[in-house]
């Protein structure tokens, strides 16, 4: 079969790498892809948000299955457009993707189906939001309602910070229309974990556990990022907790979406806060996590293509996924300065040496090819992912890869996975 992967980051490189191992697949296209992906797939110069052009391409090339990596095309309705042209596609439709696209939508869903999460209220009037903050006090969390590339959340330690965040979002409109309304919620204390489940709208197939590291610097300091590294399995998610998450969060979410006439198919990403063995939802995402996909898919033994196909067709039987016993750890190499401004176009060395290391994969995220040389192009540049018999071994493997790769001002965390070891 012919497969099209939409996107061009580390998550999509990992998906392409995993899909390429399937005996069912003859040819993979990726739009727009990146230089790492180009080693495994045919990259097509169509942006991930050019959804009509992608549909025309898929029709012309008779693509059998399309997999969407990022959230924006999902919230734009790429799935609806493909399906109305008779094309098979993996991911939620526009209505269901609101679970990520609108914080108000997801908070209301959780309230309706008693899914544990932080207490909250939505506001579209600035003065009301300020009054609520003064009533509730700090710490408190302010979120722009719409998509803000992971930057629309302010965890405010003081009332003044919270009010300043509401001013930025609602008055100065720093996130544009995404900030027309805000969700203000209770601050949750605890340990975060990411939980993923494949679903066809009815059946659920959970993945192994994982955790990422959101802050840019060691010891969880500095601003939030898209994710500076991830590992799987995550010891915080015990077998018992896994069951609680499925029973009290994932199942009621999928059943609730169906009951609301808005069935959700694809992969559901639940961001969790865990305290005293009790999970609560921080947020939902409508896609694979990045970088969580890197360690998760490196550990996945089963062929992913039949699972993706079954989700797209509404035929996910209650099977299971086989996982390698090994642990996997992904260390993100970022451009110095990220998540703020950074210099681009700097030549990267050591990729050939890293490729020769066993049980190590270097997934490209923000790279480009300039005069035959791989250079940094985005904030998160590479995801160096190692397998090992334990999390400790996988950490060593990943950092062995990190040591051989270099460019000017490269930045990475030195403590990826340490949280798992400290337990």
Residue 357 or 418: which CB sits closer to ligand GLY? 418
Strand ranges in 100-203 using DSSP code E only, listed in sequence order: 120-123, 140-144, 153-156, 182-186, 191-199
- Largest Cα span, the chain: 60
Which residues 208-227 are close enough to bind ligand GLY by CB under 6 A? 212, 226-227
Element (H, E) at 328: strand 327-335
Which of these segments, 182-190, 292-300, 308-316, 376-384, binds ligand AMP (CB under 6 A)? Answer: 182-190
How does DSSP classify residue 169?
I
Give me the least distance between CB of 103 and ligand AMP, in Å please.
7
Question: How far apart are the C-alpha atoms of 294 and 136, rounded to whole Å?
Answer: 39
224 sits near ligand AMP (criterion: CB under 6 A): yes
The CA angle 398-31-385, to the nearest 5 degrees, is 5
Which residues 361-420 are close enough to bind ligand GLY by CB under 6 A? none
Question: How far apart are the C-alpha atoms of 30 and 275, rounded to whole Å?
Answer: 40
Residue 156 and residue 139 in contact, taking contact as beta carbons nearer than 8 Å: yes
Which residues 135-154 are close enough to bind ligand GLY by CB under 6 A? 150
Give me the least distance between CB of 226 and ligand GLY, in Å please.
6
- Residue 212 site contact among ligand AMP, ligand GLY, none (CB < 5 to 8 Å, cut-off depends on kind): ligand GLY
Which of these segments, 9-17, 183-191, 370-378, 383-391, binds ligand AMP (CB under 6 A)? Answer: 183-191
Give me the least distance between CB of 140 and ligand AMP, in Å please.
8
Judged by CB under 6 A, which of 71, 100, 192, 359 binds ligand AMP? 192
- Residue 141 site contact among ligand AMP, ligand GLY, none (CB < 5 to 8 Å, cut-off depends on kind): ligand AMP
Give me the least distance between CB of 283 and ligand AMP, in Å please.
4
Contacts of 12 (CB under 8 A, 6+ apart): 5, 6, 30, 33, 34, 37, 69
Q: For the CA atoms of 89, 90, 92, 97, what is the dihedral angle to 10 degrees?
A: -100
Which residues 253-312 are close enough to bind ligand AMP by CB under 6 A? 271, 282-283
- Residue 292 site contact among ligand GLY, ligand AMP, none (CB < 5 to 8 Å, cut-off depends on kind): ligand GLY
Residue 181 or 210: which CB sits closer to ligand GLY? 210
Annotate 333-356 with b (16+ C-beta within 10 A) or e (fewer). bbbeebbeebeeebebeebeebee
Residue 50 or 283: which CB sits closer to ligand AMP? 283
Contact positions vs ligand AMP (CB under 6 A):
118, 141, 143, 150, 153, 155, 185-188, 192, 214, 224, 271, 282-283
């Amino acid at each position: 079969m012919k497969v099209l992967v939409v996107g061009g980051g580390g998550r999509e490189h990992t998906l392409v790498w995993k899909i390429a191992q399937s005996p069912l697949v003859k040819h993979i296209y990726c739009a727009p892809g990146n230089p790492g992906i180009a080693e495994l797939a045919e990259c097509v110069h169509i942006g991930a948000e050019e959804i009509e052009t992608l549909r025309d391409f898929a029709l012309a090339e008779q693509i059998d299955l399309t997999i969407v990596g990022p959230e924006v095309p999902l919230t734009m309705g790429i799935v609806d457009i493909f399906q109305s042209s008779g094309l098979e596609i993996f991911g939620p439709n526009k209505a269901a993707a609101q679970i990520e696209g609108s914080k108000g939508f997801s908070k209301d869903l959780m309230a309706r189906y008693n899914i544990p999460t932080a207490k909250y209220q939505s506001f579209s009037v600035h003065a009301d939001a300020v009054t609520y903050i003064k009533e509730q006090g700090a710490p408190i969390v302010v979120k722009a309602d719409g998509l803000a590339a992971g930057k629309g959340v302010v965890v405010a330690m003081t009332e003044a910070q919270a009010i300043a965040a509401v001013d930025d979002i609602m008055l100065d409109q720093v996130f544009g229309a995404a900030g027309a309304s805000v969700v203000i919620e209770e601050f949750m204390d605890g340990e975060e974990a990411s939980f993923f489940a494949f679903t066809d709208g009815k059946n659920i197939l959970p993945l192994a556990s994982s955790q990422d590291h959101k802050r840019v610097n060691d010891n969880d300091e500095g601003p939030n990022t898209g994710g500076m590294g991830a590992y799987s399995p995550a010891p915080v998610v015990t077998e018992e907790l896994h069951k609680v998450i499925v029973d009290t969060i994932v199942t009621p979410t999928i059943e609730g979406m169906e009951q609301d006439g808005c069935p959700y198919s694809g992969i559901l990403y639940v961001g969790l806060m865990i305290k005293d063995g009790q999970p609560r939802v921080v947020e939902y995402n409508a896609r694979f996590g990045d970088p969580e996909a890197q360690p998760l898919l490196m550990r996945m033994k089963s062929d992913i293509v039949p699972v993706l196909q079954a989700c797209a067709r509404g035929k996910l039987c209650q099977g299971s996924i086989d996982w390698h016993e090994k642990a996997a750890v992904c260390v993100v190499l970022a451009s110095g300065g990220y998540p703020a401004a950074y210099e681009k176009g700097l030549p990267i060395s050591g990729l050939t040496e890293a490729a020769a290391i066993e049980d190590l994969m270097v997934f490209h995220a923000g790279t480009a090819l300039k005069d035959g040389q791989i250079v940094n192009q985005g904030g998160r540049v590479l995801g160096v992912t190692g397998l090992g018999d334990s999390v400790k071994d996988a950490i060593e493997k990943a950092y062995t890869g990190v040591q051989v790769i270099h460019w000017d001002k490269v930045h990475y965390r030195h403590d990826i996975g340490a949280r798992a070891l400290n337990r």
